[in-house]
């Protein structure tokens, strides 16, 4: 285990709380959402007690997820803007998938793949929020015409499934790049991890300090 000198703060405490709140919300809406979407997985609704309770709680946890993501958006959007050199990263996707990212590009705070994931998650969340509000029963759905309701429900399921794919990628990347998950658990990552995967970020830390970790 690295001692304090060998680690740097990657995610602040508020960012970690927001992340895990989002994760909790996502887990609950994803499991119950799968229960609504695949009839054969109807039993998954039991995670919320009864199917009727799941019907009530699914949107509530959806709002929890959105609140967490609002915090994450405000904190991370500045880190996720496109930069010069992002194109180079995408050109080397095949090499990066072989585990050679550190040989190919000098990554900053986030790599372009992470940035793309960020914007995709934020975009899908916005769509899920809008379509979810339209379909929310018994509060809002009856205010909308039925063709719009149909579109909202179908879009909601499509966006939900796409979001699950993104989260599968997100979790796998954390699992694949060893030393990453501790950043979200304890806040710190080792200097060697940062030097290898986010060298430009580590240099910026030294010169400008840690902005909005």
Partner 1 sequence: MTQDIIQRSATNGLTPPPQARDFQQEVAKLIDTSICIGCKACQVACSEWNDYRPEVGHSVGVYDNPADLGPKAWTVMRYNEVVENGKLQWLIRKDGCMHCDDPGCLKACPVPGAIVKHANGIVDFVSELCTGCGYCIAGCPFNVPRQNPADKRVYKCTLCVDRVAVGQEPACVKTCPTSAIMFGSKDSMKVRADERISELKTRGFANAGLYDPEGVGGTHVMYVLHHADRPELYSGLPKNPSISPLVHFWKGLFKPLAAAGFIAAFAAAALHYTKVGPVTEDDEEGHHG
* Minimum distance from residue 127 beta carbon to partner 1 (Å): 15
Among candidate residues 42, 79, 92, 170, the one labeled active-site is: 170
Which own/partner pairs from 128-132 qualify as long-range (CB within 8 Å, at least 24 positions apart)?
A: 128/62, 128/156, 128/159, 128/160, 128/163, 129/62, 129/66, 131/155, 131/156, 131/159, 132/59, 132/62, 132/156
- The minimum distance between CB 172 and partner 1, in angstroms, equals 5
Residue whose CB is less far from partner 1, 142 or 206: 142
Region from 61-69, 86-94, 130-138, 205-213 binding partner 1, contact rule CB under 8 A: 130-138
| Residues whose CB falls within 8 Å of the CB of residue 20, separated by 6 or more in sequence, listed in order | 68, 184
Q: How far apart are CA 29 and CA 48, in angstroms?
A: 10
Residues numbered 146 to 165 that lie near partner 1 (CB under 8 A) are 146-147, 149-151, 153-154, 157-158, 161, 164-165
Residues 86-125 that bind partner 1 (CB under 8 A): 97-103
Minimum distance from residue 87 beta carbon to partner 1 (Å): 22
2's tokens:
């690295």
- When asked if residue 203 is in the footprint of partner 1 (CB under 8 A), the reply is no
Residue from the set 5, 178, 206, 207 that interacts with partner 1 by CB under 8 A: 178
Q: How far apart are alpha carbons 89 and 103 in whole angstroms?
A: 11
Q: Smallest distance, Å, CB 81 to partner 1? A: 25
Phi, psi (rounded to 5 degrees) for 139: -85, -50
Whether 141 contacts 134, CB under 8 Å: yes
Q: Which of 13, 20, 90, 175 binds partner 1 (CB under 8 A)?
A: 175
Number of residues that bind partner 1 (CB under 8 A): 51
- Closer residue to partner 1, CB minimum distance, 73 or 89: 89
The smaller minimum CB distance to partner 1, of residues 40 and 209, is found at 40
- The angle subtended at Cα 191 by Cα 188 and Cα 192, nearest 5°, is 125
102 in catalytic set: no
Residues labelled catalytic: 170
């Amino acid at each position: 285990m690295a001692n304090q000198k060998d680690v740097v703060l990657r995610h602040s405490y508020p960012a970690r709380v927001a992340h895990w709140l989002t994760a909790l919300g996502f887990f609950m809406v994803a499991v119950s959402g799968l229960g609504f979407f695949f009839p054969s997985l109807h039993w998954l609704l039991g995670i919320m007690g009864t199917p009727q309770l799941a019907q009530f709680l699914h949107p509530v946890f959806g709002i929890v997820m959105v609140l967490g993501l609002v915090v994450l958006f405000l904190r991370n959007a500045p880190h996720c803007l496109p930069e010069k050199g992002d194109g180079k990263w995408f050109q080397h996707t095949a090499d990066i998938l072989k585990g050679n990212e550190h040989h190919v590009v000098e990554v900053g705070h986030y790599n372009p793949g992470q940035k793309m994931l960020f914007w995709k998650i934020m975009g899908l969340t916005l769509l899920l929020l809008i379509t979810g509000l339209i379909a929310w029963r018994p509060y809002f759905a009856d205010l909308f015409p039925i063709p719009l309701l149909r579109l909202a429900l179908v879009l909601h399921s499509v966006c939900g499934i796409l979001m699950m794919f993104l989260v599968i990628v997100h979790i796998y990347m954390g699992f694949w790049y060893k030393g990453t998950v501790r950043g979200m658990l304890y806040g710190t990552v080792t200097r060697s991890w940062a030097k290898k995967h986010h060298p430009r970020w580590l240099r910026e830390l030294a010169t400008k300090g840690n902005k909005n970790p």
